[in-house]
Structure formats: structure tokens, C-alpha cells
Amino acid sequence: MTCNPHRVSRVHAPHRTALAACLCLVLQATAAATGKGAGTFLVTSAADAGPGSLRQAILDANGAGGGTVAFAIDDDCLIVIAPLTPLPTVTVPLVIDGLTQSGSSPNTSTLAYDAQHCIVLNSNISHALRLEPPAGTTITVRGLGFDNFNTAAIEVEGAGAAHIEGNGFGGGFTALFNGFATSAIRVVDAPGTVIGGDTPAQRNVVGNALGAGIFLGLGGPRTVRNNLVGIGVSGFSNIGNNVGIDLVDAYGTLIEGNSIGHNDSFGVRVAMPTFSRASAAKGGPEFYNRIVGNLIGYSPVPNGSSRDAGNTTNGIRLTSGANIQVLDNTIAFSTNDGLNAQAAVQAARISGNRFLRNGDQAIDLNPNGVDPQDEDTVPGPGANGTQNYPELDSAVGDALAGTVRGSLTTRSGDYTVEFYSNAACDSTGHGEAENFVGAIDVNVPFAPIPPGDKTVDFVAPVQAGDGESLAGGVIVALAHDASGNTSELSACVAYTDTSLFADGFE
């Protein structure tokens, strides 16, 4: 229905009618900027259907070609809308704005989630909202709570984009809370879709899905940014999904700045069609799947003195695909490996990440366990061609800066070797990689005779970060080639603090 303050149901006081009229005027002015013919459709009832219902508002918006769905239900916060059947598919550019309901407010916390959702959709049916944006248009859903639903709370599929921002999924907003039987958010196609956003108000909290909290299927590019996935509103509590974020045949995906924890299998899983090594480096960056700057298994808010929000099995599981970039994340407290890459994964660049307190290896390239060094010129059968890791001989210096000596035995080409400090070695005598302390470029020249890899020695400077110290710890390294194929972490070498002997005493 179009905006009409005189049709607000259960109006008991003149001031409520005045408020509704004011809301109508504001929303109509806003909607006027969204396109020709855009209007405002006011939800004034929590009923499943009929005048003033959300169902009727979507029907009216579809018929009018788009606009804004706003809420002005005369009831105290919390208001549960329980559709008996899925709501009409949204097929026009539309904003569904739960924040328009009196009492609702967006998240303001930079680390946790303090939004107030007065409108909550909860029903044991397949889905709440299905969005099919036409090409060149956007459908936005903000400020709503979702519990229950069997396939997904929100399904998106179309040639246009969806913006899903400032919503709560599976946070237990009602006494009828049962989680999601499959996913909270499910997206197929819909290029340009954004889940979350740059500001605290755009953050979603996504949890308690028996499948994936966020499932991204065939298509791209799409962005998942600044959400809590499996981590509850406190910034540390457990509302884990089975998989936090699941990419299946997706491309051009950016997963950035999220906090992903407490999930029952993987924090992030990437599964792409298998690429041959010859094609692994092809395609522009717009086609890469990128996992950048996330906290994975590490809560943004401490629970007492603990940051443990570990994902069972792996923080990141790379199942198949190429041109995957895993950059500048913190990956911690996984029950098994921090990052596990299966044999079908090639050209996966793993760079600048912090790995700490994972149960097994920080980085495990298939086959399972620490890989033996490969002296053959032909790439190995495992993940990333079983790229060799560096061998470290020594690490010496003072508490703030020093020198690492070692070697890299591998095929000819250009490589980058990265160095990390740790308090101690892991259980394998390798990794982890708590603090990045430096990197160098290494060229391995072509050596046709005798056949096989060539060894290049290196001397590299390392430097502790602000407030950190190299003294008393160990150093590890990894290597990656120009295509991104990254090794496991090297065996660790103890760091010798020469400043202890500067006065001539031992």
C-alpha cells in the first residue's frame, strides 16, 4: 500500500498519527530520489496478509515499479512477523528498511553489535525474502531480524545487485528461535551484491545456520565486508554456523574485514572448478577470490583474557580453484590446520597473515602433514604444486632487528620469501607465523644441467614491529612464486639475541 498515515492500524493517540504523517513525508522525499515512479509502502500490521501487511507492501511495490517499504506498526518492540508462506519475490528496485520502525536503531559498535531490531521475521518455512534484482538495479534490506527458515532467511538471485546491511540473522531475537536449517543468506549470480559494508551500521550478525551462514554460489563479483559470522552480538559469544562463509563456483569475491568464528567445520571455504596449472595465472584480479584482513577464529572483543573463537577443523579450507588470495588475516585457534589447501588448489597466494594457536599446521598443503622438499623441476601433485619452503640456517641480532640466513631450493623463477617471528615452534617444529618481520625477493636462475631444482642462498634483514621483540623467540619463513603458489611454513630457527653478549660476558 502507498504511504497513508490515516490507515495506520490501532492508532490510539493523535500524536501517533502525526508521527506517521511525518514519517510518510520524509520517506516520500527520500524515495523520490530513487527513480521515476518510486513510492513508499507502509507496513502497519504484523499480520501475514491483508492491508498494511509486509506481504501487501511488497505486492504493491512490485506493481508500482519500486520504492521503499517502511514500518509503522503500533506495538512495542519486539514485533514478530511470521509469514505462513514465503513473501512475494521482490523483482523491482526496492529498499526494505526495518530501521523506520519506532524503537529500532542501527549498530554503533566498532567491534560488537548493539543494534535494536524491533521487526523480526520468524517462521518455519523455506525463506523469508527472495530478491531478484533486474540488471542495473539494487534491492536493499536493512535493519531487520531473522530467525528460523529452512532454506535461507534471504535468497538472492538475479542480474542486478542486493545490499544486505545492518540485519541480525540467528541471534535468538524471539522465543521461537530455532536457527536456520540450511543458510542464513544465500546468493547466486547477483553481481555487485554487498553483504555488510564499511560502517558499523551496515554490519550484519550471522549465525546458527546448520549449513553456511553466508552461501555464495555461481557468479560474481560480490563483497562480504565487516560482519560478525558465527560470533554473537557481544563480539565473542558463540552462534556458530556449520560453515561461516561458503564459496561454491563463485568468482571475484572479496571477503574483507569480517570476524568469523565458532563455526563447526570451516570459517571460510572456497570450492571452484579445477583449473590446470597452465591457466592458473590467467584472468584479471577482478576474477580472483580474495580473503583479506579478517579475524578468523579470533574474537574482536576478548572474553575475559581469551580471544578464542576457533573454528572446528580449519579457519580456511581451500578445496579447489586457482587465483585465490589470502592476505593480511589473523587465523587462530583452529582445532586442526589454520589453513588447509587441497590438491586441486593452485596459485593460492598466502601472504602477510598471522597464524597463532592452531591445533596442527598453520598452513597445510595437500598431502596432509609437513610436505617433504621436492627436488624435481616438475611441479608436485599437491596444492600449489607443492612449492618448497625455505631452509633457515640462523637468525641473529638484537631485540629489535637482525639478520636471517638461509636458502631456497626450487624451480627457476622469481620468488618472495616472507619471515615471521613466534614465541616458540609449533608441534611439528615448523610455524606458526605470529608476527610478520620482513620479506625479500629471490631470483632462482635457470639451471638446465643437471636437471632439477636449484638452490639459492639468501641473507635477509628482519625487524620487530612496534611493541614487539625478536629476543627469545624463533623465526620461520614461507616462499611464493610470481603466480602466487605459496609454500608451507619452514622449520623454525631460534633467534640469537647478540645484545646479551655485548658487554663481553657469556
Distance separating alpha carbons of residues 300 and 167, to the nearest angstrom? 19
pLDDT at 291: 98
Residue whose C-alpha cell reads 623467540 in the numeric block: 473
User: How much is the pTM?
Assistant: 0.90
Q: Are 166 and 115 in contact (CB under 8 A)?
A: yes
pLDDT at 87: 98
pLDDT at 174: 63
Which amino acid appears at position 54 of this protein? L
Distances (CA, A) of 187 to 77, 156, 157, 180, 422: 30, 5, 6, 15, 39
Q: How many Cβ atoms from other residues are within 10 Å of residue 503's Cβ? A: 7
Q: Are 179 and 206 in contact (CB under 8 A)?
A: no
Which amino acid appears at position 413 of this protein? G
pLDDT digits (tens, 9 = 90+) for 69-103: 999 999 999 999 999 999 999 999 999 999 999 99
- Round the CA-based radius of gyration of the chain to a whole number and report it: 26
pLDDT band at 22 (very low <50, low <70, confident <90, very high): very low
pLDDT at 501: 59
pLDDT band at 21 (very low <50, low <70, confident <90, very high): very low
pLDDT digits (tens, 9 = 90+) for 407-454: 999 999 999 999 999 999 999 999 899 999 999 999 999 866 566 679
Nearest Cα neighbor of 101 from 121, 113, 118 is: 118
Indicate if the pLDDT at residue 396 is higher than 50: yes
327's grid cell = 592476505
Residue 305, judged by CB atoms within 10 A of its CB (0-12, 13-18, 19+), counts as exposed
Sheet of 168-169: strands edge to edge?
Answer: 79-81, 119-123, 145-148, 168-169, 205-206, 228-229, 259-260, 295-296, 330-332, 354-356
Task: Find how far residue 151's CA is from the centre of its chain.
Answer: 21
pLDDT digits (tens, 9 = 90+) for 231-256: 999 999 999 999 999 999 999 999 99
- Stretch 450-462: mean pLDDT: 87
Distances (CA, A) of 9 to 4, 47, 57, 77, 80: 11, 11, 14, 16, 16
Indicate if the pLDDT at residue 37 is higher than 60: no
Residue 135, judged by CB atoms within 10 A of its CB (0-12, 13-18, 19+), counts as exposed
- Stretch 322-335: mean pLDDT: 97
- Stretch 219-234: mean pLDDT: 96
Distance separating alpha carbons of residues 496 and 491, to the nearest angstrom? 16
pLDDT digits (tens, 9 = 90+) for 158-207: 999 999 999 999 976 665 556 899 999 999 999 999 999 999 999 999 99
Distance separating alpha carbons of residues 230 and 242, to the nearest angstrom? 9
pLDDT at 334: 98
pLDDT at 1: 40
Distance separating alpha carbons of residues 199 and 188, to the nearest angstrom? 25
For 57, the 3-state DSSP assignment is helix
Nearest Cα neighbor of 79 from 20, 164, 9 is: 9
Q: Are 322 and 288 in contact (CB under 8 A)?
A: no
How much is the mean pLDDT over the chain?
Answer: 89
Distance separating alpha carbons of residues 24 and 2, to the nearest angstrom? 9
Distances (CA, A) of 460 to 22, 356, 496: 66, 23, 15
pLDDT at 182: 95
| Element spanning 289, H or E | strand 289-292
Q: How many Cβ atoms from other residues are within 10 Å of residue 420's Cβ? A: 28
pLDDT at 286: 75
Nearest Cα neighbor of 239 from 171, 173, 299, 181 is: 171
Backbone region of residue 356 per phi and psi (left: phi > 0; alpha: psi in -120 to 50; beta: other values): beta
pLDDT at 447: 65
Distance separating alpha carbons of residues 205 and 153, to the nearest angstrom? 13
pLDDT at 93: 98
pLDDT band at 376 (very low <50, low <70, confident <90, very high): low
